[in-house]
C-alpha cells in the first residue's frame, strides 16, 4: 500500500508548471472531480494509489475501486520504478476482490470475484513476480481458495527463505500446518511469530489455543484463550473456545459458565455461526426446538464454510427428528451429509435411521451404507454394530448374513450382558445351515442359553415365554423331542402365570405354543395328545385353519381317508380359497389313483387370482399328465397330447421360478418318455448337482441307466438312493432294484430283493407275480444246465412247483390293473411243462451224483493211504534221531569220566612236587607226567607252563602253519573265557597248567609204540579253563606245536591240524584204545556245540 503522505494533504503537480494542487485528505472531494484533475494533469501512478487508499480508509470503497481501475489505464508511468507501483496497484485491487469474495454468500458471485483476483495477480506476476508483498498476497489468495494449499505453501517458503522472520509468512505456514493436522508444526510457527513480534494481534494467541486444544493440552489451551481475551475482550473465537472447554467438563457449574460465555459471544456477534450452532445444541437438550431451528438457520445462512453448514443442518434435522417430522428430518440429514467432512458422521447416523423408517428393501440397503460410514469412523461403536447386525440379519444374501453374524458376535464379545444382541444372534443363526457346533441350530441354542442365563443371573427375572418357545422349536428341529416338550410345557406355564398382567397378548402367544405342542406330539406318535391340543386351539380360535389341516393329515396317515377329507373340507369352510386345503384334497384323490377329481382340485387353485401362478399346483397337474404316460396305450395321439401338456406345465413353473428343481426333474421325465434318453440323463444329472436331497432324481437316473442297458450302473444308483434316503423298505423301489438285478443276470439277488418287497407289501399281487417269474427263470436255468448237481436240480424242481402254484393262484385271484391274468395262466402252463421234463433231468443228475460220490470216495481212500505212509515215515525219522541222541549222550558220559580221572592225576602230581622250589621260572620246564603205562625214564620231558598265574611268558618265533594254529587258539580262548566265568572257585584251584604236545617229539613215538599218532583226525579233549585265561593274557604256542582246545564242530578241523589234548601221550593212547569218537552229522552238531565246560556234578564228585 502507498503511504497517504506525511501531512493530512497531498499535492498534485500541474502539467507544464511548477504549481501544485493540494488536496486535504480529511475532506476529499467527489471522486469524479479527483479523476478529472488526475487525468488532465497526467499524474503519476503512485499519487493515484495514495488517493485510492485514502478513499478506502474513509469507507468509500466504490471510489477506491474506481480510482484504481482508472489508474490502470490513465496514470502516468513515465518515471523511475513505475513497475513496482503498477504491481502495487494490481495487488491492491486483487486483495480487495479477495476480501469481498471471502464475505460473499452467493457461490456464483464469489467465483466471479475469485476470477477477477486471479486475473489481476496474473498481470502482476508479469511485472514483478518475486516481490515479497506480491507473493504474500498471492499465497493468501491461494490459501483462501482451499484447493491450492501446496502452491500457497511454496510461496510462503520462498518468502521465508529470503526473510526468515517474516510474520505473514510464519502465520500462513501455521495455518497450512493446522489444516494438514500438523498441530505441533503450526504451534511452532505461531510461537516463532510471537517471539519475532511480541505485539502480534490477539488472533495469533487464538491460533495457539486451537493448537493446544487439538494436542489435548486443555489447560494450556484455556490459558491461551484467556490471554486472547486479555488482549481483545470482544474476541468471539476465544469466548467460544473457553465455552466449549467448560461444556465438556460436564458439571453443572461449568455448563452454566459455558452457556454464559456463548451468550456473551452472541451479544458481541449475533451472526457468528459457531456461536449459533453451539447455542442451538444447548437448546436442543433444553427441549426448546423452535429456538434450535431459529439459531441453526441463522448459522447456516451466515457462513459459507461447509463444515459449519453441515453442523447447522444436523441441528435442524435432529430437532425435526425428535418431533417425529421424519420428512423434514430426512431432508436436513441428507443435506448435512452433503456438506459434512469425513470425520463428521453424526448426520449419517440420523440419515440411516430415516431410511430404516421408510421400510423398503432398497432403503434398508441405503441405511446400511450410512451406518457403514459411521462404523468406519468409529470401528467399535456399539450401537452402530448392533444396528448393522439387525439390518444384515434381515437380508437373504448369505454374504450379508455372515456380516451380520460378525457384527453381532463382536457386540456380544464387547458387551456380553446385552440380552438383545444374544437374541438377535440366535435368530440369525437358526436360519443358517449348521457347519460347526457354533453355527446353525446348535449355535442358536447356545446363544439362547447365554441370553437366558443373563436374564436369570443379571436381571434376576424369569425367562420370557417367547424365548422358551424358540428354544423348544430349535430342539424340535434337532429331533430332541423330549427336551422340546419340556420347554414348551414351561413356556405354557409361564404364559398362564402372566396372563393376569396382559391377558390379550399372552393368550395370543399361547395359541402358537399349543399348536407347536400338537406338532411335537404328532412327531412323537402321541396322536391322542396332538388331537387334544389341536382341538383346544380350535375351541378358542375357530378360524385357526392350520389345526384343521393337521388333524386331516393325522387321519390321512392313519388310513382314515374319509375323516381326513372331512377335516380338509372344514378348513375350506373357514377359507374357501385356501390353496393348501385344496392341494391336500387333490393329493387324497391322486393317492387313490383318481386322476380326474384330483386334476380338478388343482385346476381350481390355478383359477384363483391370488394363486394363479402357484408352482405346487402346476407341478401336481404336470405329474397327473405324466402319470398317465406310465400306463401303455395304443392311442399315440393321446399319449403325445399328455406329454405336451405335462411339458407345458413344467415349463410354466420354470418361467415363474427358474430355480425350481422339481420342474426340471419333470421335464427330464417327459423327455425320457419321448425317447430322448440322453437329454433326459443330462437334465437329471444337472438337477442332482444342484441338490442331492431329492430322491426322485436318483430314481430317474437309475431308470435312464436301465433304458441305456447299463444295468450295473442302475443297480448302484438304486442302492445308493435306498441307502442315502433310508428307503430300503419301499416296495416300489425294491421292485425297480429287482428288475435291474434280473436284467444283469443276478437272479439270486433279484429273488432276495423281491422277497424283501413281499415281506413289506404282502398283499401286492404284482410283487408275487414278479417272484413267480424269477422262480421260474431260476428253475429253468438250473434244469437246462447240464452241470447242475442233484441238490440244485431238486431245489429247481421245488421252485418250479412253487412258481406254478403262484401263477395258478394269480390267474384266478390277481389284480387285472397290474398284470394280465391270462399271461399268469400261460406261465403256470409253462411251469407244468418244465416239471414234466424234470424227471429225466433228475435221473441224470442222480447218476452223475452217484459217479461223483464214488470218485470222491476213491480219492479219499488214496489220500488216507498217503497220510498213513507219511506218518509212518515220520515215526521212523523220530526213532533214528532219538537213537543218535542217545549215542551222543553216552559219549558225553565217557568224556566226563575221563576228565575226572585226569583232574585226579593232576592233583596227585601237585602233591608230589609241593616241597620242591625253583630258583627261576622257566616257561619250557620239563616234568614227569607220572603215567604208569608209558614206563618212561625219569629223564623223559614234557612241555608245560608254570603253575603260577603271573609267570612271565616268552614269545617264540612262529613256524609254518602257525597262523592257522593262532586263529584256532583265538577261537578257543573266546570259548574258554566263557567257561572260566562259569567255574566255581574250587574248580579254578584244581586247574594248574596247560600242556603242549610236540608234533616232532621222537621220544613219544619211541616210548609209546602202541599210542595212536597225533593227527588232524584225533578227537578233541575237554581241557581246563585256566589255560584259556593264560592264553588271554598273551600265551603263544611253542614253535612246532599245536594248541589244544575243545571243539565239537567238525567244520573247524578241515584244512587245519586238529587240536590235541592237554593230557600226556599215555592218556591219549588210552583214549584211542577205548575207541571214543565224536563224529556226528551236521544236523546234530548244534546240540553239542556248547558242552565244553565242567558240570556241577564233576565238581561235587571231586
Identify the pLDDT of residue 518. 95
Identify the pLDDT of residue 71. 86
Which of 978, 1082, 1087, 1073 lies closest to 1019, judged by CA? 1073
Instruction: Evaluate if residue 1074 carries a pLDDT over 60.
Output: no
Instruction: Evaluate if residue 323 carries a pLDDT over 90.
Output: yes
Neighbour tally for 657: CB within 10 Å: 14
As a residue count, the chain comes to 1102
Which of 326, 321, 364 lies closest to 346, judged by CA? 321
Instruction: Evaluate if residue 1080 carries a pLDDT over 50.
Output: no
Alpha helices in 146-166 (DSSP H): 149-162
pLDDT in tens, 701-737: 999 999 999 999 999 999 999 988 888 888 889 999 9
Query: Three-class SS string for 199-234?
Result: CCCHHHHHHHHHHHHHCCCHHHHHHHHHHHHHHCCC
Mean pLDDT of 835-861: 84
pLDDT in tens, 449-501: 999 999 998 888 889 999 999 999 999 999 999 999 999 999 999 999 888 88
pLDDT in tens, 36-87: 888 888 888 888 888 888 888 888 888 888 888 888 888 888 888 888 888 8
pLDDT in tens, 498-542: 888 888 899 999 999 999 999 999 999 999 999 999 999 999 898
Instruction: Evaluate if residue 998 carries a pLDDT over 60.
Output: no
**Per-position DSSP letters for 667-730, written without gaps between them:** HHHHHHHHT-HHHHHHHHHHHHHH-S--HHHHHHHHHHHHHTT-HHHHHHHHHHHHHHTT-TT-
Query: Percent of the chain having pLDDT more than 90?
Result: 37
pLDDT in tens, 359-371: 888 899 999 999 9
Let me know: does 707 contact 672? Beta carbons within 8 Å: yes
Let me know: does 1009 contact 1045? Beta carbons within 8 Å: no
3-state helix, strand, coil in the chain (%, to 5): 70, 0, 30
Instruction: Evaluate if residue 28 carries a pLDDT over 50.
Output: yes
Q: CA-to-CA distance for 928 and 821, rounded, in angstroms? A: 125
Please state at what angle helix 289-301 crosses helix 306-322, rounded to 10 degrees: 160
Q: CA-to-CA distance for 744 and 1059, rounded, in angstroms? A: 82
Query: Percent of the chain having pLDDT more than 70?
Result: 82
Q: Does the predicted TM-score (pTM) go above 0.85?
A: no
Identify the pLDDT of residue 984. 53
Instruction: Evaluate if residue 958 carries a pLDDT over 70.
Output: no
Amino acid at each position: 500500500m502507498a503511504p497517504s503522505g506525511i501531512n493530512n494533504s497531498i499535492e498534485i503537480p500541474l502539467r507544464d508548471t511548477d504549481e501544485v494542487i493540494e488536496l486535504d485528505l480529511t475532506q476529499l472531494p467527489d471522486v469524479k472531480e479527483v479523476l478529472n484533475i488526475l487525468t488532465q494533469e497526467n499524474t503519476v501512478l503512485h499519487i493515484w494509489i495514495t488517493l485510492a487508499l485514502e478513499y478506502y480508509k474513509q469507507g468509500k470503497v466504490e471510489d477506491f475501486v474506481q480510482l484504481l481501475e482508472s489508474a490502470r489505464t490513465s496514470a502516468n508511468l513515465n518515471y523511475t520504478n513505475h513497475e513496482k507501483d503498477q504491481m502495487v496497484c494490481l495487488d491492491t485491487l486483487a486483495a480487495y476482490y479477495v476480501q469481498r469474495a471471502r464475505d460473499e454468500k452467493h457461490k456464483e458471485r464469489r467465483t466471479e470475484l475469485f476470477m477477477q483476483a486471479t486475473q489481476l495477480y496474473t498481470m502482476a506476476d508479469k511485472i514483478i513476480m518475486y516481490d515479497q508483498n506480491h507473493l504474500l498476497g498471492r499465497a493468501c489468495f491461494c490459501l483462501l481458495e482451499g484447493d491450492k494449499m501446496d502452491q500457497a505453501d511454496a510461496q510462503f517458503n520462498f518468502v521465508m527463505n529470503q526473510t526468515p522472520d517474516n510474520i505473514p509468512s510464519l502465520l500462513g505456514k501455521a495455518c497450512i500446518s493446522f489444516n494438514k493436522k500438523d498441530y505441533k508444526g503450526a504451534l511452532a510457527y505461531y510461537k516463532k511469530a510471537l517471539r519475532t513480534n511480541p505485539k502480534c494481534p490477539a488472533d495469533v494467541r487464538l491460533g495457539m489455543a486451537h493448537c493446544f486444544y487439538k494436542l489435548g493440552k486443555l489447560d494450556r489451551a484455556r490459558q491461551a484463550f484467556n490471554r486472547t481475551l486479555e488482549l481483545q475482550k470482544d474476541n468471539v473465537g476465544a469466548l467460544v473456545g473457553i465455552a466449549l472447554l467448560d461444556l465438556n467438563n460436564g458439571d453443572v457449574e461449568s455448563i452454566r459458565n459455558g452457556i454464559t460465555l456463548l451468550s456473551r459471544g452472541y451479544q458481541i456477534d449475533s451472526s457468528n455461526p459457531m456461536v449459533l450452532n453451539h447455542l442451538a445444541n444447548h437448546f436442543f437438550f433444553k427441549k426448546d426446538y423452535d429456538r434450535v431451528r431459529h439459531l441453526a438457520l441463522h448459522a447456516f445462512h451466515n457462513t459459507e464454510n461447509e463444515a459449519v453448514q453441515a453442523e447447522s443442518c444436523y441441528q435442524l434435522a435432529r430437532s425435526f427428528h425428535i418431533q417425529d417430522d421424519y420428512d423434514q428430518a430426512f431432508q436436513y440429514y441428507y443435506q448435512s451429509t452433503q456438506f459434512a467432512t469425513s470425520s463428521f458422521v453424526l448426520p449419517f447416523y440420523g440419515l440411516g435411521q430415516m431410511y430404516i423408517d421408510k421400510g423398503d428393501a432398497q432403503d434398508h440397503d441405503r441405511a446400511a451404507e450410512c451406518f457403514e460410514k459411521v462404523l468406519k469412523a468409529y470401528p467399535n461403536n456399539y450401537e452402530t454394530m448392533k444396528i448393522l447386525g439387525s439390518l444384515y440379519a434381515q437380508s437373504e444374501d448369505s454374504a450379508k448374513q455372515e456380516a451380520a453374524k460378525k457384527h453381532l458376535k463382536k457386540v456380544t464379545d464387547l458387551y456380553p450382558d446385552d440380552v438383545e444382541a444374544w437374541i438377535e444372534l440366535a435368530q440369525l443363526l437358526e436360519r443358517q445351515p449348521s457347519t460347526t457346533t457354533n453355527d446353525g441350530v446348535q449355535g442358536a441354542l447356545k446363544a439362547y442359553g447365554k441370553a437366558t442365563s443373563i436374564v436369570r443371573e443379571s436381571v434376576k427375572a424369569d425367562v420370557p415365554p417367547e424365548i422358551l418357545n424358540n428354544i423348544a422349536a430349535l430342539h424340535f428341529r434337532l429331533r430332541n423331542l423330549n427336551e422340546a416338550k419340556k420347554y414348551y410345557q414351561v413356556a405354557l406355564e409361564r404364559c398362564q402365570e402372566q396372563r393376569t398382567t396382559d391377558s390379550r397378548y399372552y393368550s395370543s402367544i399361547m395359541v402358537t405354543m399349543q399348536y407347536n405342542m400338537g406338532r411335537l406330539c404328532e412327531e412323537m406318535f402321541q396322536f391322542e395328545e396332538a388331537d387334544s391340543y389341536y382341538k383346544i386351539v380350535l375351541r378358542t380360535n375357530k378360524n385357526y385353519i392350520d389345526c384343521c389341516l393337521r388333524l386331516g393329515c393325522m387321519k390321512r396317515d392313519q388310513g382314515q381317508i374319509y375323516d381326513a377329507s372331512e377335516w380338509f373340507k372344514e378348513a375350506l369352510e373357514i377359507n374357501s380359497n385356501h390353496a393348501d386345503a385344496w392341494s391336500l384334497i387333490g393329493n387324497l384323490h391322486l393317492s387313490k389313483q383318481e386322476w380326474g377329481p384330483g386334476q380338478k382340485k388343482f385346476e381350481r387353485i390355478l383359477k384363483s387370482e391370488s394363486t394363479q401362478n402357484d408352482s405346487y399346483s402346476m407341478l401336481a397337474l404336470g405329474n397327473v399328465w405324466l402319470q398317465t404316460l406310465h400306463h401303455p396305450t395304443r392311442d399315440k395321439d393321446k399319449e403325445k397330447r399328455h406329454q405336451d401338456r405335462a411339458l407345458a406345465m413344467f415349463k410354466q413353473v420354470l418361467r415363474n421360478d427358474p430355480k425350481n428343481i422339481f420342474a426340471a426333474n419333470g421335464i427330464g421325465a417327459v423327455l425320457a418318455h419321448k425317447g430322448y434318453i440322453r437329454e433326459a440323463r443330462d437334465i437329471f444329472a444337472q438337477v442332482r448337482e444342484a441338490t442331492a436331497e431329492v430322491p426322485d432324481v436318483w430314481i430317474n437316473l437309475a431308470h435312464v441307466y436301465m433304458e441305456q442297458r447299463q444295468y450295473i450302473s442302475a443297480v448302484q444308483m438304486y442302492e445308493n438312493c435306498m441307502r442315502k434316503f433310508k428307503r430300503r423298505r419301499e416296495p416300489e423301489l425294491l421292485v425297480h432294484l429287482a428288475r435291474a438285478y434280473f436284467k444283469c443276470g443276478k437272479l439270486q439277488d433279484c429273488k432276495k430283493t423281491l422277497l424283501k418287497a413281499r415281506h413289506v407289501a404282502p398283499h401286492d399281487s404284482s410283487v408275487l407275480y414278479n417272484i413267480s417269474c424269477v422262480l421260474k427263470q431260476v428253475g429253468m436255468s438250473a434244469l437246462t444246465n447240464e452241470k447242475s448237481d442233484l441238490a440244485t436240480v431238486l431245489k429247481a424242481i421245488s421252485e418250479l412247483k412253487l412258481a406254478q402254484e403262484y401263477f395258478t393262484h394269480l390267474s384266478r385271484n390277481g389284480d387285472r390293473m397290474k398284470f394280465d391274468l391270462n399271461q399268469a395262466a400261460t406261465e403256470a402252463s409253462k411251469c407244468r411243462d418244465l416239471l414234466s421234463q424234470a424227471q429225466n433231468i433228475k435221473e441224470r443228475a442222480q447218476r452223475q451224483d452217484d459217479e461223483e460220490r464214488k470218485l470222491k470216495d476213491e480219492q479219499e481212500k488214496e489220500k488216507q493211504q498217503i497220510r498213513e505212509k507219511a506218518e509212518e515215515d515220520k515215526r521212523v525219522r523220530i526213532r533214528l534221531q532219538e537213537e543218535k541222541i542217545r549215542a551222543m549222550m553216552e559219549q558225553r558220559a565217557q568224556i566226563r569220566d575221563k576228565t575226572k580221572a585226569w583232574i585226579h592225576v593232576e592233583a596227585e602230581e601237585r602233591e608230589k612236587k609241593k616241597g620242591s622250589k625253583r630258583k627261576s621260572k622257566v616257561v619250557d620246564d620239563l616234568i614227569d607226567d607220572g603215567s604208569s603205562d608209558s614206563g618212561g625214564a625219569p629223564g623223559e620231558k614234557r612241555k608245560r607252563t608254570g603253575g603260577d598265574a603271573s609267570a612271565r611268558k616268552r614269545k617264540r618265533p612262529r613256524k609254518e602253519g602257525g597262523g592257522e594254529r593262532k586263529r584256532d587258539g583265538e577261537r578257543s580262548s573266546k570259548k574258554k573265557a566263557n567257561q572260566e566265568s562259569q567255574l566255581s572257585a574250587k574248580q579254578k584251584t584244581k586247574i594248574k597248567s596247560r600242556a603242549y604236545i610236540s608234533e616232532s617229539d621222537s621220544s613219544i613215538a619211541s616210548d609209546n609204540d602202541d599210542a595212536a599218532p597225533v593227527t588232524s583226525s584225533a578227537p578233541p579233549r575237554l581241557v581246563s579253563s585256566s589255560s584259556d585265561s593264560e592264553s588271554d593274557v598273551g600265551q603263544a604256542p611253542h614253535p612246532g606245536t599245536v594248541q589244544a582246545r575243545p571243539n565239537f564242530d567238525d567244520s573247524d578241523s578241515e584244512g587245519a591240524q586238529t587240536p590235541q589234548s592237554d593230557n600226556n601221550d599215555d592218556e591219549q593212547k588210552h583214549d584211542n584204545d577205548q575207541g571214543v569218537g565224536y563224529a556226528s552229522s551236521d544236523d546234530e552238531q548244534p546240540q553239542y556245540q556248547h558242552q565244553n565246560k565242567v558240570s556241577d556234578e564233576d565238581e561235587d564228585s571231586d
